[in-house]
Amino acid sequence: MDLILPHRADADARAQIDGLGERTLQAFDTRTLAFLTDFSTRLLQDHALRSAPELVALGYWFRPAAVEVLRQRHARLAASGVLRPRGVVFHVAPANVDAVFVYSWFLSLLCGNRNIVRISRRDNAHRATLLQLLADTLAAHPHIAACNAVLAYERDDAISAELSARCGLRVVWGGNETVAHFRRIPLPPLATELVFPDRQSWALLDAASLINADDDTISRLASAFHNDAFWFSQQACSSPRAVVWIGATTQVAQAKNRFWQAVREELARRGETPDASELANRLVAAHRAAAAGDVKPHGSLSDWPLRLDADTFTPELRGGHCGYGLFYEITRAHLGDTRDLFVAADQTVAYFGFERAALTDWVQTLPDRAVDRVVPIGDALRFGDCWDGHDLLMAFSRHVVIA
Amino acid sequence: MADTLQAVGPFAIPQADKRARLFERLHALTAQHYAHCAPYARMLDSLHADWRAADSLEALPWLPVGIFKHLRLASIPDEQIVRELRSSGTSGSLPSRVLLDHDTAANQTRALARIVGDVLGRARRPMLVVDRNDLLRSGEALSARGAAVLGFGNFGRQHSYALKPDLSLDLDAVRDFVTRFADEAVLVFGFTFVVWRDLVQTLRSRGERLAFPPGSIMLHGGGWKRLTDQQVGNSQFKQAVAEVLGIEQVHNYYGMAEQVGSIFMECGAGRLHTPDYAEAIVRDPISLAPLPLGSTGVIQLLSDLPGSYPGHSLLTEDIGAILGEDDCPCGRMGRALRVDGRLPRAELRGCSDTRAA
C-alpha cells in the first residue's frame, strides 16, 4: 500500500490513515474552500493540462463561484435540520478516467468528510501532472492534507477490508465487476455504500428539428456531439453508443444524412483520423452484433464512425460495444414509442430538438430504474453533483433532523 | 475431405492457377458454412450481404479473427466435435475457441506434414521440444501451444523436452539429448519467445555453448511481439541460435490457432511461403482495400482446411506485406510473405475497470 497523497516525509500510509481519526472538518469549511480555490486556480493556470479538456472542466467545476452554488444548494437541502458529515469516506476510483476520483473526493470533502481514496496505478496521459498539482496544493494546506489519504495498492482484499472497516461511507466506481467484488467486503453496521456500476448512454434526435435547423446550429450540434461521443474513445458510461431518431422514415433518412455529414466535417476540422487498431475493435463488435441479431451497416464496414441500423439496443449489442466510434441507430415514429428501448443500465440520454416539458412527461413513462440524466447533446460527459440518480451532496452527508 | 487442394501441394501450383482453384474451393466453403452455421449466416447477411456475387479471392467475405474470442462458431453438430483448441491469447485477453471435427483435424495434420516435410525431408529426426516437459499432461481443452507441440511432434522421434514445468532450463536433459544424438541431424522445435528467453538467453547468461549435430534444424513460430518489444529481430535470433546451439538452419513459421495446419514456413531466402491450399492478402489498415505486392498492411489469411468452423477467411490484426509471387529464389510457387508484427492495442478510456477483450 503506497501513500500517493499527501506527500509525507515518512511516506507512511498507515500513519496517515490513523491520523484521519483525529481531525475534523465542517461542511463547506473555510479551509476546504481555500484549498479548492487554490486547486482550481493552479489547475486552470497549468499549461501542461490545457490539452486535457476533462481536467480543464475539473478546474472550472471547483472554481469559487461554482462552489458557492453548491454551498447554497447544500444549505437548502437541510431545510428541516442540518447536513452533517458521514465521517471517513472510502472512495474506490476507476482505472481509466483521471478526473472522476477528484470529483468524488472533493464533493465528499466539501460535505465535511475525511477521505481515503484508492486510485489505480495505471498510467494515464495526464496522471502524473495532476497528482503533482494535487501534491503541491495539499502541501500549502496542511489541515486538508491531514484529512485525506490517496493510496494505491494492488487488488488486495485484506487492505480493502481494513479500509472498509474504517469508513462511514464506501463509494465504489469502476463497473460491475469492481462493484460485485467490493460488495463481498463487509462494512461497519452504520456505514452505507454508494456504487457506480456499468451504465450505457444514448443520443436522442428529433428528425424534423434537425432538418429545419440552420447550418450554424448543425455545426454547433456536430461539435457538441463530438465532445459527447468521441472523448474518452466513446467508452465513458455517459458516452452515447446508440442513437434514437424520432420521425417518419423519409424524414429520418434526410436528417441522418445531414447530421452524419456534419459529424464527419467536424472530425475533419479537428484533424482527427481513423485508427487501424480501433477499426479492428469495431469490426469484431459489428460481427458480434450481426451474429446475435439483425443489424445493417450504413455504408462500408471500414467507415469511421461506423453506423449500424438496429431495431433495439439488445444486451448483446450493449455487451459487445467497443467504443471507438460505433453507433447503433434506431428509428421510432414518436417519442412515446421508445419506452421498450430503455433498461435499468441506461444512464444518460443526450438530446436535440425536444422541449423540456415533453422530455419530463416522457421520462415518467420509462421503466423505473432506466435513465438518470436527460441533457442537451454536448453535456453528456459533464459531471454533475447529481449522478446516476444520486444527489451526491445528500449521499455524502447525514440529514440531522431538528424539530 | 477428398476435395481439399492439399493433394497437390505444398508449394507447387503457380499463382494464377492457384487463385482460380482456391477461389472455387473457398467460395464453396463459404456456402457450406453459411448453410450450417447460423451465426455465420447472420454475419454474412448483415455485413457481407453480397458474398454470393464474389468473383475473386479478394471479394470473398471474411471474419475478424477476434470473433473467435467471443463466439463459439461451428458448422457441425456438437457430437461431431473431436477437439476444441484454445489459443493462449495475449495476456489479459480472452482465448479463441476453435472447434474441430475428425476431417478438419485430419486435414490439418496432413497439411502440416506436407509443409514440414518440405523442410525436414521424410525421415523422422530425434526431436527436442523447447517447452515444459509436462505441457501435454495437463488435461482440459488443448492450448494452442500444446496443439502445436502435439502436431509438430509427429515429425520427430525420441522426444526430449528442454524445460521443466516452471519453464526453467533443464540443462541436463538438453546436454543428454545432444550427447545421445551426436551423430545425426536433429529437430529442435519451440515457440519463438520461449526459445529465445528460456533457451538461448538462459544459455547465454550462463556462458554455456552447445554443439548440436551438423544438419540440425530449428523450427519456431508463435509471433515476434515480445521479441520486437526487446528489439530482437529475425537475423539476430538466427545469429544467437547459431552461436549458442550451433544450429545453422533456422526456420520461422507464421500461423494461428484459428487456422491450424495452415502455416507459412520461412525458406532459405528468409520469406514466408503460402502453401497451395492457403493464401495471404494484404489490405489497407484503414480502408481495407486490397494492396498491391510490396505494400504493407493488415494480413487476411485464407485456408481451405477449416471445414468444421467458418475460419477459412480471416482478417487478422497482423501487419505485413506480400513480397512476391512465383519468384522466390528458393523456387517455391505462390505468394511469399513478410510479417512485421501486430497492430498496437487500442487505448482503453472507459469508466469501467473491466478490460476489453
| CB-nearest partner of A274 from B69, B286, B351 | B286
State how far residue A101 is from chain B, nearest Cα, in angstroms. 11
pLDDT of residue B139: 55
| CB-nearest partner of B353 from A175, A288, A302 | A175
- The percent of residues above 90 in pLDDT, for chain B, comes to 77
How sure is the predictor about A49, in pLDDT bands with cuts at 50, 70 and 90?
A: confident
- Cβ-Cβ contacts under 8 Å, B288 against chain A: 279, 300-302
Q: Which of A155, A176, A279, A348 to mutate to test the interface with B (most CBs of B within 10 A)?
A: A279
B347 touches chain A (CB under 8 A): yes
pLDDT of residue A94: 86
pTM over 0.90: yes
Contact call for B346 and A277, based on CB within 8 A: yes
State how far residue B71 is from chain A, nearest Cα, in angstroms. 8
* Close Cβ partners of B142 (under 8 Å, ≥ 6 residues apart): B83, B84, B85, B86, B150
pLDDT of residue B90: 55
B47 touches chain A (CB under 8 A): yes
Backbone φ, ψ for residue B143 (5° rounding): -70, 160
Task: For helices B15-36 and B38-47, give the axis angle rounded to 10 degrees.
Answer: 110
Contact call for A97 and B351, based on CB within 8 A: yes
Kindly identify which residue of chain B lies nearest to residue A381, measuring between CA atoms. Answer: B351
pLDDT at A192 over 80: yes
Q: Are A229 and A188 in contact (CB under 8 A)?
A: no
Q: Grid coordinates standing for A198?
A: 456499468
State how far residue A140 is from chain B, nearest Cα, in angstroms. 31
Contact call for A233 and B285, based on CB within 8 A: no
State how far residue B261 is from chain A, nearest Cα, in angstroms. 24
pLDDT of residue B89: 57
Kindly identify which residue of chain B lies nearest to residue A275, measuring between CA atoms. Answer: B286
pLDDT of residue A52: 86
State how far residue A100 is from chain B, nearest Cα, in angstroms. 9
pLDDT at B122 over 90: no
What are the tens digits of pLDDT across the range A20-37?
A: 988 999 999 999 999 999
B 6-45 near A (Cβ less than 8 A)? 39-40, 42-43, 45
B349 touches chain A (CB under 8 A): yes
A 227-286 near B (Cβ less than 8 A)? 232-233, 235-238, 274-281, 283-284, 286
Contact call for B343 and A176, based on CB within 8 A: no
A 12-71 near B (Cβ less than 8 A)? none
Sign for the CA dihedral angle at B318, B319, B323, B325 comes to positive
pLDDT at B173 over 90: yes
State how far residue B234 is from chain A, nearest Cα, in angstroms. 25
A 126-185 near B (Cβ less than 8 A)? 173-178
Burial track A353-376 (b if 16+ CB lie within 10 A, e otherwise): bbeeeebeebeeebeeebbbbbbe
pLDDT at A281 over 90: yes
Contact call for A286 and B47, based on CB within 8 A: yes
B298 touches chain A (CB under 8 A): yes
Between strands B264-266 and B249-254, the pairing is antiparallel
What are the tens digits of pLDDT across the range B74-104?
A: 999 999 999 898 876 555 578 899 999 999 9
State how far residue B35 is from chain A, nearest Cα, in angstroms. 14
pLDDT of residue B92: 59
How far is A112 from A32, CA to CA, in rounded Å? 8
- For B95: left if phi > 0, alpha if psi spans -120 to 50, otherwise beta; the answer is beta
Alpha helices in A188-248 (DSSP H): 207-212, 215-230
How far is A364 from A378, CA to CA, in rounded Å? 23
Helix or strand (DSSP H, E) at A196? strand A192-196
CA-only gyration radius of chain B, Å = 20
Kindly identify which residue of chain B lies nearest to residue A298, measuring between CA atoms. Answer: B47
Contact call for B42 and A232, based on CB within 8 A: no
pLDDT of residue B355: 42
Contact call for A94 and B353, based on CB within 8 A: yes
> Coil, strand or helix: which one is A240?
strand
- Cβ-Cβ contacts under 8 Å, A120 against chain B: 353
What are the tens digits of pLDDT across the range B214-252?
A: 999 999 998 888 888 888 999 999 999 999 999 999 999
How far is B33 from B17, CA to CA, in rounded Å? 24
DSSP B295-356: -EEEEEEEES---SSS-SEEEEEEEEEEEEES--TT---SEEEEEEEEPPPPPP--SS-SPP
Contact call for B43 and A290, based on CB within 8 A: yes
How high is the mean pLDDT of chain A? 95
Question: Average pLDDT of A83-108?
Answer: 91
B135 touches chain A (CB under 8 A): no
pLDDT of residue B7: 44
B351 touches chain A (CB under 8 A): yes
What are the tens digits of pLDDT across the range A233-274?
A: 999 999 999 999 999 999 999 999 999 999 999 999 999 999
pLDDT at B3 over 50: no
> Coil, strand or helix: which one is B280?
strand
State how far residue B154 is from chain A, nearest Cα, in angstroms. 35
Three-state SS string over B11-72 comes to CCCCHHHHHHHHHHHHHHHHHHHHHHCHHHHHHHHHHCCCHHHCCCHHHCCCEEHHHHHCCC
pLDDT of residue A127: 87
pLDDT of residue B142: 66
pLDDT of residue A51: 84
pLDDT at B356 over 50: no
Closest CA to A317 of A344, A332, A340, A295: A295
Domains of chain A: 2-198+388-401 (3.40.605.10), 200-376 (3.40.309.10)
Q: Grid coordinates standing for B123?
A: 525421415
B352 touches chain A (CB under 8 A): yes
What are the tens digits of pLDDT across the range B140-170?
A: 556 778 888 888 998 999 999 999 999 999 9
B314 touches chain A (CB under 8 A): no
Helix or strand (DSSP H, E) at A70? helix A64-77
Contact call for B286 and A178, based on CB within 8 A: no
Q: Grid coordinates standing for A159?
A: 487492505
Q: Grid coordinates standing for B2?
A: 477428398
What are the tens digits of pLDDT across the range A312-363?
A: 999 999 999 999 999 999 999 999 999 999 999 999 999 999 999 999 999 9
Contact call for B349 and A291, based on CB within 8 A: no
> Coil, strand or helix: which one is B241?
helix
Kindly identify which residue of chain B lies nearest to residue A120, measuring between CA atoms. Answer: B353
Q: Which of A52-66, A188-202, B125-139, B294-308 has the lowest mean pLDDT?
A: B125-139
Altogether, the residues listed in chain B come to a count of: 357
Kindly identify which residue of chain A lies nearest to residue B356, measuring between CA atoms. Answer: A322
Q: Are A188 and A165 in contact (CB under 8 A)?
A: yes
Question: Average pLDDT of A360-378?
Answer: 96
pLDDT of residue B31: 98
pLDDT of residue B5: 46
Q: Are A231 and A381 in contact (CB under 8 A)?
A: yes
pLDDT of residue B228: 83
Kindly identify which residue of chain B lies nearest to residue A277, measuring between CA atoms. Answer: B346
B46 touches chain A (CB under 8 A): yes
- The percent of residues above 90 in pLDDT, for chain A, comes to 91
A314 touches chain B (CB under 8 A): no
- Cβ-Cβ contacts under 8 Å, B45 against chain A: 290
Q: Which of B46, B63, B67, B225 to mutate to test the interface with A (most CBs of A within 10 A)?
A: B46
Q: Give Cα separations from A322 to A93, A284, A326, B43, B143 (angstroms).
A: 21, 9, 7, 17, 27
